Amino acid sequence: MRFSERTIPPEELDRIVDAARLAPSSKNEQRWAFVVCTDRDHLRELAHVGDYAGHLGSATAAIAIVTPNAADAEERESIAFDAGQATENAMLAAWELGIGSSHASVYDEVLARELLAYPGDMRCDVLISLGYPADPAIFERPPRDRRPLGEVRHHERYDQ
């Protein structure tokens, strides 16, 4: 995703975070916090948190998904599932507003913690970069390289 330099109004960013906030979660526990970043220098620094996070550097905003750092593997999975739903909600809300988005996985947790200042018992695995696309035609294009429906859909049982 290539972003234009046009900035996102704060109320639009709020609508995107609100969509994340309203996502369903296991037992409605809502184990998440969303750190909204719009400062240009901060975004450039955040671009170093992952090997494929460079797009944060050209985004006009980012939302870091911050979740509890659970010791229990099952709880970690459950939190990650919920965080995924909140992430997708935010991305769909952005799309609706004509705003493009991309995931950025955190590889350097130490740097992410330093830049985002979340507490020791929390973690950040993913940020969403946001911006108006340089080429608005991306909204017309179908998703690329998806497995065909007939390959992933089954009827009643996996073996049919």
Ligand X SMILES: Cc1cc2nc3c(=O)[nH]c(=O)nc-3n(C[C@H](O)[C@H](O)[C@H](O)COP(=O)(O)O)c2cc1C
Instruction: List 32's β-bridge partners, or say none.
Output: none
Q: Does 150 bind ligand X (CB under 6 A)?
A: no
Q: Rule CB under 6 A: which of 72-111 touch ligand X?
A: 102-105
Q: Does 130 bind ligand X (CB under 6 A)?
A: no
In the complex with ligand X, which residue's Cβ is closer, 107 or 118? 107
CA 106 to chain centre: 11
In the complex with ligand X, which residue's Cβ is closer, 14 or 52? 52
Q: Does 139 bind ligand X (CB under 6 A)?
A: no
The amino acid sitting at 56 is L
How near is the Cβ of 6 to ligand X at its closest, in Å?
21
Q: Are 139 and 95 in contact (CB under 8 A)?
A: yes
CA 152 to chain centre: 24
How near is the Cβ of 80 to ligand X at its closest, in Å?
9
How near is the Cβ of 88 to ligand X at its closest, in Å?
8
Q: Between 10-21 and 73-96, two packed helices, what is the crossing angle to 10 degrees?
A: 140
Counting Cα atoms < 13 Å in the Cβ hemisphere of 92 gives 11
Residues of this chain that bind ligand X (CB under 6 A): 50, 52-53, 55, 102-105, 126, 143-144
